[in-house]
Amino acid sequence: MDLYAVHASKPDATGAVEVIYEHEQDARAFAVARSADHGVLAASVTRFTIGRLGSRHPVACYAQGKLQDPRAPRPGGRYYPSAV
């Protein structure tokens, strides 16, 4: 069974899982809204399969409510936005 986790990145914390959804569209909707919250740098969605090691796969990353291009260069060469 595939599930979708939403992680929020903040200046003082790195992407802890906030919620898990059964459906990708629900996870994406939450991530869009969460990425626009005060103090949140980005929110990302990750798909994984229960009981299958190595099944984690990035789905999407949002910043300020907008989908981010996964191929775009990141400031400082980092994969996740940070305040530093």
pLDDT of residue 68: 92
pLDDT of residue 79: 56
pTM above 0.85, yes or no: no
Degrees, nearest 5: CA angle 20-56-6: 30
Q: Which two tokens mark 21?
A: 């959804």
Contact 43, 6 (CB under 8 A): yes
Say how far apart CA 45 and CA 43 lie, in whole Å.
7
pLDDT of residue 84: 53
pLDDT of residue 74: 55
pLDDT, mean of each 10-residue run, the chain (84 residues): 94 83 98 95 94 93 92 59 56
